[in-house]
Amino acid sequence: MNSKIVTIVIVFLLAFFTGVNFVVFPALGTAFTDGSVFGLSSSQFGNLFIPQVVCIIISCLGAPFLVNKFGPKIILTAGLLLMILSTGILWMLQYFMQDKSLLFPVLMILVAFTGSGFGLSITTLNPLAASLFEDKKSSAILILQFLVGLGTSTSPLMMNLIGNVKNWMYVPGSIFILVTVIFIIFLFLKLEKGTFFELPSHFKIPYKLWIFFTAIILYGFIEGTFGSFGAVILKNQGLDNNKASLGLSLFWGGIAVNRLLFGIFSKRFNLSYVFLISPLLVGALIFLLLIDPGVHIILLMMFLIGFFMGSIFPGSIGWGTVEFPTLSVLVSGFLMAANQIGTGIVTNVLGSFSNYTDAIFQFLIFCMLAICALLFYLKRNSKIKEAF
């Protein structure tokens, strides 16, 4: 099964199912905190994601060197197996929930497996997708990240569809089956290691890559704020629970739509300046939220904030891949880790400040201005037009 088209289809399906698998634990939040099911406290549920973030950062930073040594197929296989193992054991917990004293430590281990598997998988999938489209590397990464995002929105939807929280086991059960099937098909693919995945024997991280790294940490602050605390912030703005949840969905929907459109149109049109000024547009939209424009305008703003944020992260990976072709896997892992560092920091810090909405917005505006300045600095003598 060596057809390039089949390989492309499987790689992009893996991206979607990696996204589905990644958010199975957050999607089951109501089951984990329900006293009649798992019975975790709110603080335990929050602490559950500390090992996930740590393991993602470690695996994203380690994956480039592992792929360089063992090739993309072995590392992708290891990442997928970790996620399958985690989801499978989670499904089996329904038979071993009598002794709840062991549940929390077991869940911590499973979340660590999921984080490690996600980091290894997505760090390898980004350059793998780029290698399949030699003249459209950035577009391939944008569409791949769109599919990951689409996958992350699927698990919560599955939880909504099953209705009763006591039926929680159908979510990990169905995900386990689907990911296992696509994994078995993937095993029949022949993936060459190729020069695309090799790192030079001696290299140092270019200073421009450190600037990308800094910009993506700042981006992670914004994504983490709206992604984790968006509903809380919107409730502070006067929205009811349903409208706040809708605002959060619109935010993620905006991100997904932008990545899809950028991936489709970036080779037909020069979108480099749209990419460069998008942080400014996000900053302006956040500023408008400061003046409390009314419920329907706030909801529109949430979609537009997500929309103009959409291309910043995967676009930076695509641009970095074009800019540093001999370090493509390192670019992917380095920037994936930067995003997790940003979201991890803000998620842990913001809990104490979630009621200070104006101060949060002002901080986010500063972050967006800084990102814009860093991107324009990187533009000098760069290959940005090749990327977009």
Query: What pLDDT digit, counting tens, does each position of 98-110 carry?
Result: 667 778 888 899 9
Token duo for residue 92? 């089996």
Tell me if 267 sits within 8 A of 139, measured CB to CB: yes
Tell me if 146 sits within 8 A of 133, measured CB to CB: no
Q: What's the confidence (pLDDT) of residue 257? A: 85
Span 125-145, average pLDDT: 82
Percent of the chain whose pLDDT exceeds 90: 24
Span 126-148, average pLDDT: 83
Residue bearing tokens 């000098």: 380
Q: How far apart are CA 134 and CA 306, in angstroms?
A: 29
71: left (phi over 0), alpha (psi -120 to 50) or beta: left
Span 124-128, average pLDDT: 87
What is the amino acid identity at position 117? G
What's the pTM? 0.81
Nearest to 216 by CA among 334, 364, 325: 334
Q: Which residue has the higher pLDDT, 202 or 14?
A: 14
Q: What's the confidence (pLDDT) of residue 308? A: 92
Q: Tell me the pLDDT tens digit for each residue of 221-261.
A: 988 888 766 667 777 777 776 777 677 778 878 888 888 88
Percent of the chain whose pLDDT exceeds 70: 91
Helices (H), the chain: 4-22, 24-27, 29-32, 42-47, 50-70, 72-92, 103-132, 137-162, 170-187, 207-236, 241-265, 272-290, 295-309, 312-323, 328-350, 357-379, 384-387
How confident is residue 80, by pLDDT bands cut at 50, 70 and 90?
very high
What is the amino acid identity at position 236? N
What is the amino acid identity at position 113? F
Span 266-278, average pLDDT: 81
Tell me if 318 sits within 8 A of 142, measured CB to CB: yes
The alpha-carbon radius of gyration of the chain (Å, integer) is 20
Tell me if 71 sits within 8 A of 198, measured CB to CB: no
Indicate if the pLDDT at residue 373 is higher than 80. yes
Nearest to 64 by CA among 7, 19, 119, 134: 119
Q: Tell me the pLDDT tens digit for each residue of 16-75.
A: 999 888 888 877 777 777 777 787 776 777 778 788 889 998 998 888 888 888 888 999
How confident is residue 217, by pLDDT bands cut at 50, 70 and 90?
very high
Q: How far apart are CA 123 and CA 66, in angstroms?
A: 11
Q: Tell me the pLDDT tens digit for each residue of 179-197.
A: 999 999 999 888 776 666 6
Q: Which residue has the higher pLDDT, 76 or 156?
A: 76
Q: What's the confidence (pLDDT) of residue 301? A: 87
Domains with residue ranges and CATH for the chain? 4-197 (1.20.1250.20), 207-387 (1.20.1250.20)
Residues 6 or more apart whose CB falls under 8 angstroms from that of 329 comprise 63, 64, 67, 68, 123, 124, 127, 197, 199
Nearest to 189 by CA among 118, 133, 140, 125: 125
Residue bearing tokens 């919560």: 156
